[in-house]
Structure 1
Amino acid sequence: MTRASILTTLAFVLLGGFGGYIAQILHFPLPFMLGSLVATALGSTLFARAIPEGYLFPQQVRLIFLAVIGVMIGAQVSPELLELLPAMLASFTAIALFVGLAHGGNYLIFRYIGGYDPATAFYSGTPGGLMESIALGEAAGADIATLTMQQFLRIILVISLVPVGLSLWMGAPVGSASGITLAHASPSDFSHVHLVVLTGLAGIVLGKLLHLPAWQLTGPLFAAAAVSATGLGVLDMPNWMISVCQVVIGASLGMRLGGLRGRAMLHGTWLGILSVGLMLGIGLVFSLILVRLTGQPLDILLISFAPGGVTEMALVALSLNANPALVTAHHIWRIIMTVIELAFIGRYVQPRVL
């Protein structure tokens, strides 16, 4: 990295931190990630001339902090959760069906209501696998700026609307807006940080070797789940450390949205609302069916289908007195099913259709 790139990265992380702080004051869901994303997207648009030509947010930096988030989520896995897995067969089957129905419906929205070209509509409509969708869409000739915008809007709308809707239903804030965190350590407790780092590094290597979907996140997640579920160690970390990770990830994502203009954003937001409404509606139908089959509460099943941020949905589950790892397991399965679907269509269908 050049000196200019380092200074630019530092400036955007600081801007993201300021945006996260403002979002926390305003009680936004997932404030440090969402606030950072919005602030850096605005900054990269308003100050585009000050950004060095060809600058990209360093992915190596993003990878480190994404791995910590993966460890944080995986640390919620417990032996009690593993005992529940056989009973989750029905909901896992429903999520596989959900992926196909949601993706098909989203394609129709983006293609025939939004007017996007086939490749952009197809990869904009995936109900998960953000980075995989962007990478495959770019290779297929999709409009990468539009695709990136729609994928980010999916996450932003879900992590905003679902916690707010549940807060109104429950009569009290849920998720990160309620002040709940997945962190248990005190701000000055670094006693477990070394194990968090080692687990994250091992997970990165594991995820890349096994070609896991979203391996930067899922590799550390599975590694942390193995450590936590077997009792090999404690993976607590201070809450401020998790917030810093969210700021960096939000800043790296916000940079991708820089340069989009108002009309395109308004059009994309309207389509995003239609898309998210469709997906939440499909998820609600499946949840109503699964209430009878699994005995799980309706609200827990609904957030298990919500195609948004894994971290925020886990926080919502925690505020509803449910195990966040149970919800996370469903979201990881949704990502896996989406990537499998993309791989199949990309190999056998896409050359004849898109």
Structure 2
Amino acid sequence: MGHKRLLTPLPPPGDAVGGPPRTTVSRTVAGLGIGISGGALFALMGAPLAWMLGALIAVTAASLSGARPAIPATLRTVMIAVLGVMLGSAFTPEIAGHIAVWGGAVLVLLLFLVVTMALVVAFLQFGVGMDRATAYFSGAPGGITEMALAGESHGADSRVITLMHASRILVIVAVIPFYFRVLGGLEVPTLPPDAASLLDTPVFDALLMVGCGIVGYPVARVLRLPAAALVGPMLFSAGVHMAGWTAASPPFELIAAAQVVVGTALGARFAGVSIRRVWPYLLVGAGSAVVMMALSWLAAVLFAEWVGVDPTGLLLALVPGGLVEMGLIALSLGIDTAMVSTLHVLRIAAIMLAAPVVFTILERYALRRWSDSHKGS
């Protein structure tokens, strides 16, 4: 039996203007111009995740207003690989030993992810009537790119997933830093503070990271890993960083460029969709962010003493905002930054790697139950 829809389904990309646009040079230049402008504006404002969210919001607004920006698939794939290498660089040789020390906090994180996903996904599917795949990947507290790509490969509407996660991240990275800014006068930068310039990156480190992207993507495709352009480079990057071969991360110029391209590509998917169709999804996404923050606070209060960590540190480790932003707040407060950063890396990796597999298992179970219930009918 179907569930009542409280959200109007979005039309296919470009439906209102005659179908999806071809990716042309003019549309690419226009899209990147809008994305760079939005990212630069957000960066000047000191907003967290400025280049990604600024590009996403600017290009989405332009698309909803009738513009038809587009990003070539090859360019998007390359930049997604850059972000994968960046995520992998967060894994250091010390992390393996730290995980053993933080075993209790890791267990709380895993429990938190299961409970949070179950509540949010159930609300999205049964409460507002999203289809199963879109609700599942919209409620999985991973990153925008990871969940949009994984959901798209399972037949979900990546634009809805993008709206839901963009709303979640916007609300959390606005509320949490604002909360700590009020208490401690902290400022959260827009890019990783330890990211070097392209000119300052050693040649060996640069070649190693490029190799992670070049090798990781095709290997992940051969192994049929979800979101191969992101997961493959991330796993290879994590391997070389945990082995101690390099401690470098992609230069900040490349990180900013990758954020702009990915944000622009996501925003370009809204061509032909009216703002009237979109705003209810933004409200639902913001509501899910509030639920996640409340559950994070509750888990920190209940379990911090049991796992032997500061409640504020556990809150920062659990709340599904940006890894960089939460880690920087922990650093400014003198809390265990390594724990906060490591748990966020584990959250992203766990969701990215496990969520598609779990969804496939659930789909097969649901199909089998449906088949059994219709036998003999």
What is the TM-score when the length of structure 2 is the normalising length? 0.78
Give SS of 1:331's match: helix
- Residues 1:136 and 2:148 are matched in the alignment: no
Equivalent residue for 2:235, pick from 183, 198, 222 = 222
Tell me the percent identity: 27
Kindly report which structure 2 residues correspond to 1:237-256, keeping only aligned pairs within 5 A, or say none: 237-256=250-269
Equivalent residue for 1:38, pick from 33, 38, 57 = 57
- Measure, in 1, the Cα distance between the counterparts of 2:359 and 2:95: 29
Is the contact made by 2:217 and 2:232 (CA closer than 8 Å) also made in structure 1?
yes
What amino acid sits opposite 2:260 in the alignment? Answer: V
Q: Report the CA distance between 1:284 and its aligned residue.
A: 2.3
Equivalent residue for 2:301, pick from 288, 293, 297 = 288
Report the counterpart of residue 107 of structure 1 in structure 2: 121
Q: Report the CA distance between 1:275 and its aligned residue.
A: 1.0
- Measure, in 2, the Cα distance between the counterparts of 1:3 and 1:266: 27
Change (3 A) 1:87 1:190: closer
Is the contact made by 1:208 and 1:215 (CA closer than 8 Å) also made in structure 2?
yes
- Measure, in 2, the Cα distance between the counterparts of 1:106 and 1:259: 28
- Residues 1:298 and 2:311 are matched in the alignment: yes
Report the counterpart of residue 25 of structure 2 in structure 1: 6
Q: Report the CA distance between 1:87 and its aligned residue.
A: 3.0
Give SS of 1:349's match: helix
293-302 or 274-283, larger mean C-alpha shift: 293-302
Which structure has the bigger radius of gyration?
A: 2
- Measure, in 2, the Cα distance between the counterparts of 1:288 and 1:132: 33
- Residues 1:17 and 2:29 are matched in the alignment: no
Give SS of 2:180's match: helix
Report the counterpart of residue 341 of structure 1 in structure 2: 358
Change (3 A) 1:159 1:240: same
What is the TM-score when the length of structure 1 is the normalising length? 0.82
What amino acid sits opposite 2:207 in the alignment? Answer: H
Q: Report the CA distance between 1:17 and its aligned residue.
A: 0.9
- Residues 1:331 and 2:348 are matched in the alignment: yes
Kindly report which structure 2 residues correspond to 1:1-354, keeping only aligned pairs within 5 A, or say none: 5-48=24-67, 57-111=71-125, 113-116=127-130, 120-128=134-142, 129-138=147-156, 145-174=159-188, 176-177=189-190, 181-183=193-195, 185-191=196-202, 192-310=205-323, 312-317=325-330, 319=332, 322-323=337-338, 324-349=341-366
- Measure, in 1, the Cα distance between the counterparts of 2:224 and 2:296: 28
Q: CA RMSD in A?
A: 3.1
- Measure, in 1, the Cα distance between the counterparts of 2:170 and 2:102: 27
Change (3 A) 1:59 1:231: same
**Unaligned runs of at least 5 residues, structure 1:** none
- Measure, in 1, the Cα distance between the counterparts of 2:261 and 2:361: 33
Give SS of 2:24's match: helix
- Measure, in 1, the Cα distance between the counterparts of 2:199 and 2:264: 25
Is the contact made by 1:13 and 1:251 (CA closer than 8 Å) also made in structure 2?
yes
Q: Report the CA distance between 1:341 and its aligned residue.
A: 2.8
- Measure, in 2, the Cα distance between the counterparts of 1:119 and 1:228: 34
- Measure, in 2, the Cα distance between the counterparts of 1:203 and 1:88: 29
Q: Report the CA distance between 1:253 and its aligned residue.
A: 1.2
Q: Report the CA distance between 1:320 and its aligned residue.
A: 5.2
- Measure, in 2, the Cα distance between the counterparts of 1:238 and 1:118: 39
Work out the number of aligned pairs and report it.
340
